[in-house]
A and B are shown apart, each in its own frame.
Chain A
Amino acid sequence: MSARPPAKSAAPVASSKVKTLTIDDRLVSAREDESILDAARQNGIQIPTLCNLDGLTPVGACRLCVVEVKGSNKLFASCVTMVAEGMDVVTDSERLQRYRKTIVELLFSERNHVCAVCVSNGHCELQNLAQALGVTHLTVPYRHPKLPVDASHERFVNDHNRCVLCQRCVRVCGEVEGAHTWDINGRGIGARVITDLNQPWGSSETCTGCGKCVQVCPTGALTEKGKSVREMAKQSRFLPYLTMMREDRHE
């Protein structure tokens, strides 16, 4: 990301062309550098997302925003698929609903999400997704991994039991704060978010304590200390604001 020389993404957007496409039988238009997700949202069509967050580079990791594009057997993550002329997109179908439900189930089964005792209960994006998609119970077995809670930071807590590996903390810290305190350790089902050399957060040499990671975390994984059940509401609106202000400054 920050290490590579700017590629095409740095191209000016002023001259970009407008494309016309169909989303859920509605004719919509969008700039060619906009994603299907952008276009849908601008037209009031809601597609479920989890890893996506306005102001951060989309990564297409959670796969909840997959949509069907007529004429192709494959599914497309709408957050990273750019619009194209004449594209015919279906954002909701029995099949997509089933896939999304299973993905949410997989997330619940992966770690230990116990809403009843969670500080983010009522303010959790994973919980909201489960409600919206009608996930009332799990068909897949719980994995019950034994995971630590890192409370070494003076103001924040990292509870791996509630992490969904959306990488929002990694991205906001690297792309916006510029500290790159967070990254991912290991791989596959064993992947974990880490600070610095996988050391306690409180001992991190690079963390500025800005708390952006806490505010963008969709669940109760990264929270402020001293909150009790249901008290941790996140505030991520600073992000589009920061991005906008910085763009203005560059102009």
Chain B
Amino acid sequence: MISIEDLSQISQAEKEAKDAVPNQINVCVAASCLSLQSDKVMEELEKAVEAKGKKDCCKVRGVGCMGLCAAGPLVALEKERILYQGVKPEDAPEIVDALGAGPVARIQGDLEAPFFARQQKIVLENCGRIDPERIEEYVAVDGYLALIDTLTAMTPIGVVQQVTRSGLRGRGGAGYPTGLKWATVSKAQGTRKYVVCNGDEGDPGAFMDRAVLESDPHRILEGMALAGYAVGAQQGFVYVRAEYPLAIKRLKLAIRQAEKLGVLGSNIGGTTFSFSVDIRLGAGAFVCGEETALIASVEGGRGTPRPRPPYPAESGLWGYPTLINNVETLANIPAILRNGPEWFAKIGTPKSRGTKVFALAGAIANTGLIEVPMGMPLREIIFEIGGGAPDGKAFKAVQTGGPSGGCIPESGLDQPCDYESLAKLGSIMGSGGMIVMDETSSMVDVAKFFMEFCMDESCGKCVPCRVGTAQMHELLRQISSGEATSRELALLENLCDVVKATSLCGLGQSAPNPVLSTLHYFRHEYEAKIAAGEAAAAGHAAAHASPAGGAA
């Protein structure tokens, strides 16, 4: 029976063990750095420590994502607050030699740079600081404290109230108030209830869920258990993309460790509450981010959405009330219960509380993961933290919200980054992907790219989405290649309206958004293509002889 005392004993032992070794070398072993061979860097560091006889005073640990993926592999000396970037295996001896004697300037990164200094971390607080494969390290940073404390000191309704008071909203896309969702499931009648963690992360350009699952998996398990207690569920499922093998491996390990420690399983902490977690693998379908499609997929079927109501909160998995929350949403829960809802509500803006993790990618200097308070102006995120567009190119637009979102031009960058402001700009928060485009990107092509995505990912159940996305893609192809006239543009705008208004689920309803937002802010780019198309058509009509006519 695990108790608060047990947790603090583990934590104490862990801290003492850590303090006993003066030097800690943390190597990022999350997917991004790993694919730049950070595992070899770690191996060489271990060898160097051994060879130089520093085994007693130096420990090399694999940790999760440190955020600045662009500069990987990353290595950090925690106590000295030194960051090394772009580390190669052959740098290992030099790093070990320099321990206690000052940094190796050649590969040193700047921890005081805005990229690090401007962030405020809740969801990512342990990422890059703990070894994701050891539960003791999670416990040492107060992990599972909120769970055991809550189970013994708070009623389920009390937990729902705390989450409601924090003002947390769903981080998966729509920004639905989390407390309200929890309250609905908690009130729903059912002999059984389920908690599902949505880790499908289908948005191209978003990789925060992956980072959390790979770097701090216990955080999700704790969040799910707290959710289960609050709504009255005994079984949870984590739905993870099969494309994330490392996340799956670490999650499986974390579940086993948590069961062994007694923070998952029967009668947790000696209470009557039991909760177990199982993994379900996604198999590559963006539409499974939609709640009803996700349920169909967890039940082993085709991931096609069904009309709502009934909402999953009333009738979800196998017809039972089901709470579905995204990875980042659940990652906030332990911190909210540990520090109190007032602490959380003070961060961010009145309508969008807390922090948000953004994945910076595309034409931006500092690609990687960042976490900032809600409401930070887009300009600050992209230029100060992100470093702007690289290679001296001019910024053109930032795409937020993935295929359901929109492109925001320079003129919108002074708006605060929160749910409402992004919606006003014609985009959405989505899961937090931010793809920056520079002057070399054609916005018509960008719209075509997203439409191709929606066409490929449409489940095919409803007509407007199935055929409409294919038709819009064809029209965008024609416009992009200079084969279209203003007639095709009018047709495209009509289809945007029809598909948005009549599609069955969110995928179809938002599929026109990238077209609508680029039409709104960059209509001149469409018109230039149309002008080329009409000139070609006129030329073609006037004389068939012109060899230059036709597609550009």
Contact between A and B in the complex (any CB pair below 8 Å): yes
Which B residues form the contact surface with A (CB < 8 A)?
285, 299, 302, 306-307, 309-310, 315, 318-320, 455-464, 466-471, 474-475, 491, 494-495, 498, 501-504
Stretch at the interface among A75-83, A174-182, A218-226, A229-237: A75-83
Inter-chain contact B315/A7, CB cutoff 8 Å: yes
B213 CB → nearest A CB, Å? 26
Closest to B310 in A: A8
A59 touches B461 (CB 8 A): yes
Q: Smallest Cβ distance from B482 to chain A, in angstroms? A: 17
Knowing A63-B502, A102-B498 are in contact, say whether A188-B319 is a contact too (CB < 8 A).
no
Known: A75-B502, A106-B471, A188-B457. 10 other contacts (CB 8 A): A61-B462, A81-B307, A102-B498, A103-B498, A107-B467, A139-B494, A141-B471, A164-B463, A184-B302, A188-B459
Residues on B with C-beta less than 8 A from A188 are: 455-460, 466, 469-470
State how many angstroms separate the Cβ of B303 from the closest Cβ of chain A. Answer: 9
Contacts of A103 in B (CB 8 A): 463-464, 498, 502
Distance to closest chain A CB from B481 (angstroms): 14
Q: Find out whether the CB atom of B470 lies under 8 angstroms from the CB atom of A189.
A: yes
- Docked complex Cα distance between A8 and B316 (Å): 11
Q: How far is the CA of A164 from the CA of B466 in the complex (A)?
A: 11
User: Once the chains bind, are A61 and B495 in contact (CB under 8 Å)?
Assistant: no
Q: A165-B460, A186-B460 are in contact. Are A106 and B307 (CB under 8 A)?
A: no
Q: Identify which of A5, A82, A106, A186 contacts B467 (C-beta below 8 A).
A: A106
Q: Top 7 closest A-B pairs, CB basis?
A: A7-B319, A191-B460, A106-B467, A188-B458, A189-B470, A80-B307, A60-B307
* CB within 8 Å for A102 and B495 given contacts A61-B463, A187-B458: yes
- Residue in chain A with minimal CB distance to B460: A191
Whether A66 lies near B319 (C-beta < 8 A) is no
Q: Which residues of A contact B (CB under 8 A)?
A: 3-8, 59-64, 66, 75, 77, 80-82, 98-99, 102-103, 106-107, 109-110, 139-141, 143, 164-165, 184, 186-191
Determine which residue in B307, B318, B459, B469 has the highest number of CB atoms from chain A within 10 A of its CB, and name it: B307
Among candidates A99, A140, A164, A184, residue contacting B491 with C-beta atoms closer than 8 Å? A140
Instruction: Kindly list chain B residues whose C-beta atoms are within 8 Å of the C-beta of A75.
Output: 501-502
Q: Are B315 and A184 in contact (CB under 8 A)?
A: no
Selected contact of A62 from candidates B302, B320, B463, B470, CB within 8 Å:
B463
Asked if residues A99 and B455 are in contact (CB atoms below 8 Å), the reply is no
List chain B residues, Cβ under 8 A from A62: 462-463
> In the docked arrangement, what's the CA distance between A107 and B461, Å?
13
B399 CB to closest chain A CB (Å) equals 22
Q: Complex: how many Å from CA A60 to CA B465?
A: 13
Describe B's contact surface by its main secondary structure.
helix
**In angstroms, how far is the closest chain A Cβ from the Cβ of B20?**
55
Alpha-carbon separation in the docked complex, A82 to B309 (Å): 9
Task: Return the chain B residue nearest A167 by Cβ.
Answer: B461
In the bound complex, CA of A165 to CA of B466 (Å): 10
What's the nearest-Cβ distance from chain B to residue A38, in Å?
A: 15
**Chain A CB within 10 A, most for which of B310, B315, B464:** B464
Q: Which residues of A contact B461 (CB under 8 A)?
A: 59, 61
Question: Which of A82, A103, A109, A188 counts the most B-chain CB atoms under 10 A from its CB?
Answer: A188
| A155 CB to nearest B CB, Å | 28
Smallest distance from the beta carbon of A163 to chain B beta carbons, Å?
Answer: 12
Closest Cβ–Cβ distance, residue A176 to chain B (whole Å): 20
Q: Which chain A residues lie closer than 8 Å to B285 at the CB level?
A: 187
Looking at the assembled complex, report how far the CB atom of A100 sits from the nearest CB atom of chain B, in whole angstroms: 9
Q: Is there contact, CB below 8 Å, between B463 and A107?
A: yes
CB distance A60 to B460 under 8 Å?
Answer: no
Taking CB atoms, residues of chain A closer than 8 Å to B501 are: 66, 75, 99
B473 and chain A: residue at smallest CB distance = A189
Cβ of B460 and Cβ of A184 under 8 Å apart? yes
A205 to B466, CA, bound (A): 30
Contact, CB under 8 Å: A143 / B302 = no
Instruction: Determine the chain B residues whose CB is within 8 A of the CB of A109 once the complex forms.
Output: 467, 471
On chain A, the residues within 8 Å of B309 by CB distance are 82
A7 to B310, CA, bound (A): 11
* Interchain CB contact under 8 A, B307 and A189: no
Which residue of chain B has its CB nearest to the CB of A189? B470
Contact A63 B504 (CB under 8 A): yes
When the two chains form their complex, are residues B498 and A8 in contact, meaning their CB atoms are under 8 A apart? no
Chain A residues with Cβ under 8 A from B455's Cβ?
188-189
Instruction: For A79, give the chain B residue with the smallest CB separation.
Output: B307
Judge whether A110 and B467 touch: CB under 8 Å. Answer: yes
A5 cross-chain contacts in B, Cβ below 8 A? 318-319
How far, in Å, is B221 (CB) from chain A's closest CB?
A: 27
CA A60 – CA B305 in complex, angstroms? 10
Tell me, in angstroms, the Cα distance from A222 to B318 when the chains sit together: 33
In the complex, which residue of chain B has the Cβ closest to the Cβ of A186?
B460
| Least CB distance, B178 to chain A, in whole angstroms | 23
What are 20 sample pairs from A and B whose C-beta atoms fall under 8 A apart?
Answer: A4-B299, A5-B318, A61-B462, A64-B463, A66-B502, A77-B504, A99-B502, A102-B464, A102-B498, A106-B467, A109-B471, A141-B475, A165-B463, A187-B285, A187-B460, A188-B460, A189-B458, A189-B460, A189-B466, A190-B460
Closest Cβ of chain A to B505, distance in Å, is 10
Whether A139 contacts B491 by the Cβ 8 Å rule is yes
Report the minimal beta-carbon distance from B449 to chain A, rounded to whole angstroms.
16
By the criterion CB–CB under 8 Å, are A63 and B464 in contact? yes
Give CA–CA (A49, B467) in the complex, Å: 17
Contact residues in B for A190 (Cβ distance below 8 Å): 460
For the complex, give the distance between the alpha carbons of A3 and B318 in Å.
9
Residue contact B470 to A143, C-beta cutoff 8 Å: yes
Closest CB in chain B relative to A55 CB, distance in Å: 19
- Min CB distance A220 to B, Å, is 18
When chains A and B are docked, how far (Å) is the Cα of A110 from the Cα of B470?
9
Closest B residue by C-beta to A107: B463
Given A99-B502, A103-B502, A188-B457, are A140 and B495 also a contact pair (CB < 8 Å)?
yes
Residue of A nearest to B504 (CB): A60
Instruction: Give Cα A240 to B461, complex, Å.
Output: 24
Q: A5-B318, A81-B307, A187-B458 are contacts. A61–B504 as well, Cβ < 8 Å?
A: yes
Cα(A62)–Cα(B462), bound, Å: 5
Contacts of B468 in A (CB 8 A): 106
Docked complex Cα distance between A116 and B315 (Å): 47
| A191, B309: Cα distance in complex, Å | 26
Known interface pairs A62-B462, A63-B504. Does A6 touch B319 (Cβ–Cβ under 8 Å)?
yes
Q: Which residue of B lies closest to A58 (CB)?
A: B307
Whether A140 contacts B463 by the Cβ 8 Å rule is no
- Chain A contacts for B466, CB-based, 8 A: 110, 165, 188-189, 191
- Residue in A closest to B498 when the chains form the complex, CB atoms: A102
B312 → A minimal CB distance (Å): 12
Residue with the highest number of chain A CB atoms closer than 10 Å, among B319, B463, B470: B463
Known A102-B494, A141-B471; judge A187-B459 contact (CB<8 A): yes
A81-B471 Cα distance, complex, nearest whole Å: 28
Contact status A63-B462, CB under 8 Å: yes
Chain A: CB-nearest residue to B472: A140
CB-CB under 8 A from A66, the residues of chain B are 501-502
Contact A106 B315 (CB under 8 A): no
If the complex has contacts A4-B319, A61-B504, are A141 and B474 also in contact, measured as CB distance less than 8 A? yes
> Separation in Å of the B458 CB from the closest CB of chain A?
4
Residues in chain B near residue A82, CB distance under 8 A: 309
Tell which of A8, A61, A102, A110 touches B319, judged by Cβ atoms closer than 8 Å.
A8
